[in-house]
Amino acid sequence: ILSGSEDAKEKANKMGYPVMLKASAGGGGRGMRLVNDEAEVDNAYKSANREAVTAFGNGDIYIEKFIENPRHIEVQILADAHGNAIHLGERECSIQRRHQKLVEESPSPVVDEETRKKIGDAAVKGAKAVNYLGVGTVEFLMDKDRNFYFMEMNTRIQVEHPVTEMVTGADLIKQQIRMHAGEKYPEYLQNFKLRGHSIECRLNAEDPSNDFMPFPSEITSFHMPGGKGVRVDTHAYAGYKIPSHYDSMIGKLIVHAKNRERAINRMQRALEETIIEGPKTTIPYHRAIMDDERFKAGNFDTSFLETFEYDSEKYMHKEGIS
């Protein structure tokens, strides 16, 4: 934890610019500031500190080296009270806006078996070093050469945990409870094999054409897709009033298929069948992402959406439907 902006400058000069200042209690991209040189440190530190205090009630800030145009790769871990810890593969989380994930998938299209073992072993080693218990996520940044750098650990169930469940068959909520009840982790997960490919799209009540402005309002019509390999996690329904005080996510659409190409095709169909009337949503934006050739080829990093061209008219079902 940094003691102040002068401490940040000292550490940044040692590791080299650019660096990232991050709130230790942060999440969802809040309390984060990119710093390109020493002249920016003071303002960036004060700004990150203020935002962290407002959002989390904790203004502690730490510093890390900024990796330009990385991929965001995270590893799911499971640890019991008997000293055992395993990983359940990785998730690709590079499709983000404002450092918040929009699309997640497992496995990552760029992680091979050798890299999976290395990054998985690193995550397990970190969990064991702190005697971790339960389900958690170790997050890394990965460069174009598949070198990976520890970013943070989320000591909780993640929004995107369903894609791991779909490719491993593990019920992570059930395992979280069992681990904290003192049970040993299931040995069948020790040598798991990833089964196919899974993708998740976060359904947010936001207007993608207006810088993802939140769109709290009443849902007047609500229809979710179904069928083989399609899962929906949501609390919303027709008549539900989306509040303005909380996160804009109103659901998660998850698909599973034999391989990534088929998973993308299944997600495209599922999104086309999804109807939410009332608020603007990210549904048409997700359809555009699924159609993008760079996304289909797995050729993207965390800067993908900065250059992504979204044609809202093309992907609207019809007037008044998101």
- Residues with catalytic function: 156
Q: How far apart are CA 257 and CA 194, in angstroms?
A: 12
Q: How far apart are CA 72 and CA 91, in angstroms?
A: 8
Cβ atoms of 97 and 212 within 8 Å: the answer is yes
Cβ atoms of 29 and 16 within 8 Å: the answer is no
| Residues paired with residue 71 on neighbouring β-strands, in sequence order | 142
Radius of gyration of the chain (CA): 20
What φ, ψ does residue 321 adopt, rounded to 5°?
-115, 130
Cβ atoms of 46 and 21 within 8 Å: the answer is no
Cβ atoms of 194 and 167 within 8 Å: the answer is yes
In the block, which residue shows the tokens 């681990």?
179
Report the candidate in 154, 147, 129 with the shortest Cα–Cα distance to residue 65: 147
Three-state DSSP class for residue 167: helix
